[in-house]
Structure 1
Amino acid sequence: MLNYQFTQALALSYKDMISLAKDDKTLLEQSLKDVNAMLVVNQLADIKETIDDDIIHNNSFDIALDLVKYDEAFLKDKLVLEQIRKLYISKIKKLSYGKIHIKDMAYRLIVQDPQVYFNFIATRDMETARDNDCLQANEISVVGRPDGQRTVIGRNPLSSHQEMIKFENKSNDYINSLGYKSNSMIVVNSYDALLHRMSGADCDGDTAAVMVDDTIYDSVIELDTPLFFNTLDGAKVESLYTKENIIEITKLTAEINRSLALCNAGLMNNAMNYLYMIIELIRDRFIYSNLKSKK
Structure 2
Amino acid sequence: MLRSVAVLAVDGLAPFEFGVACEVFGIDRSDTGGPVFDFRVVTARPGTVSTSLGFTLQVADGLDRAADVDLVVVPAHGSGPVDPVYVDFLLRAHARGTTILSICSGAFVLAATGLLDGRRAATHWMHADELRRLHPAVTVDPEVLYVDEGSIVTSAGTAAGIDACLHLVRRELGAGAANAVARRMVVPAQRDGGQAQFIAVPIPERTPDSLARVTDWMLANLDREVTVDELARKALMSPRTFARRFRAEVGTTPGAWLNRQRLLRAQHLLEETDDTLEAIADATGFGSAAVLRHHFARVLQTTPTAYRRAFGERQRA
TM, length-normalised to structure 2: 0.23
Instruction: Compare CA radii of gyration and give the structure with the larger one.
Output: 1
Bigger relative contact order (CA 8 A; separation at least 6): 1
